[in-house]
Amino acid sequence: MTASMQTAKRVLITGANGQVGRMLLETQPADATVIACTHADLDIAAVDSVHECIERYRPDTIINAAAYTAVDKAESEPAAARGVNTEGPRHLASAAERHGARLIHISTDFVFDGAASTPYLPDCATNPLGVYGRTKRDGELAVREALPQRSVIVRTAWVYAATGANFVRTMLRLMRANGAVSVVADQVGTPTAARPLAEALWKIAIDPGVAGIHHWTDAGVASWYDFAVAIAEEGAGLGLVPAEVTVAPITTADYPTPARRPSYSVLDKRSLASLGLAPIHWRKRLRSVLKEIQSA
């Protein structure tokens, strides 16, 4: 890895205290110099702060793991979502262009409308359903416009980790408290553990030949209901939840939310196969994360 790291020896990570940001720090190559910026260190929505930060640290590569991810709250806070998800990436791309840096920007399956029935390719037409998805899509466009040759957009989905606020930790809490949960069964995608996502991002960071839009998730397909059933089964085996947890399937109509969500958002990951990246099935990754929670 040392020889390849010449292209990304000095890496600045935004959103370093988020799920993906923390995992990027845990999995960083030994020969990389990493500048970790939390939101308190750098508000990417503030253009002057972004340019000052990139001028100060002069990174070879920027990995943007900062995002406004409160999907439902974004419907009532569009300006806040736009600041982080659209203007922030634009500022980073502009600063990267000025200083000759490369930008790896993390995006989302929510740029799609869910009308497909086969996995979305990176070049499929986007059609986001809500504010969150629109601001993320517009962030992609801003990056591509400002830094077309030295940018990589990586869309991912349903990310979770052993720490932070995510579906897995929420399910474990509700299952322990109530012994039963009701979960939407007509939204389908792929659960994705933060660690393998971070490892994929580092693979991209050390390969200067990767550009454009790519997808990365774990392998397999699941509904949120399937995901919850697996959490209950695997969690019971590790003593994290009671042995007899009831998981009831419901429809999206049964659980109305401010933001519409894609009913199908499985992503085609084959464009990254040339990097030697082979996703592992989500259930195996879930087991690893639950063991991490158990040992915490």
Give the Å distances, CA to CA, from 100 to 59, 76, 210. 9, 37, 16
Active site (annotated) includes residue 132: yes
Q: Say if residues 206 and 8 touch (Cβ distance below 8 Å).
A: yes
Given 132, 160, 225, 264, which residue is catalytic?
Answer: 132
Structure tokens at 83: 């600041």
CA gap 50, 44 in Å, rounded? 6
Question: Number of helices and strands (H, E) in the chain?
Answer: 9, 12
| Number of neighbouring beta carbons within 10 Å of residue 27 | 16
Name residue 171's beta-bridge partners.
Answer: none
Cβ neighbours of residue 183 closer than 8 Å, sequence gap 6 or more: 171, 224, 225, 227, 228, 247, 248, 249, 250
Question: For 42, phi and psi rounded to 5 degrees?
Answer: -150, 115
Structure tokens at 155: 């869309």
CA gap 82, 225 in Å, rounded? 31
Cβ neighbours of residue 9 closer than 8 Å, sequence gap 6 or more: 31, 32, 33, 60
Which active-site residues does the annotation give?
A: 132
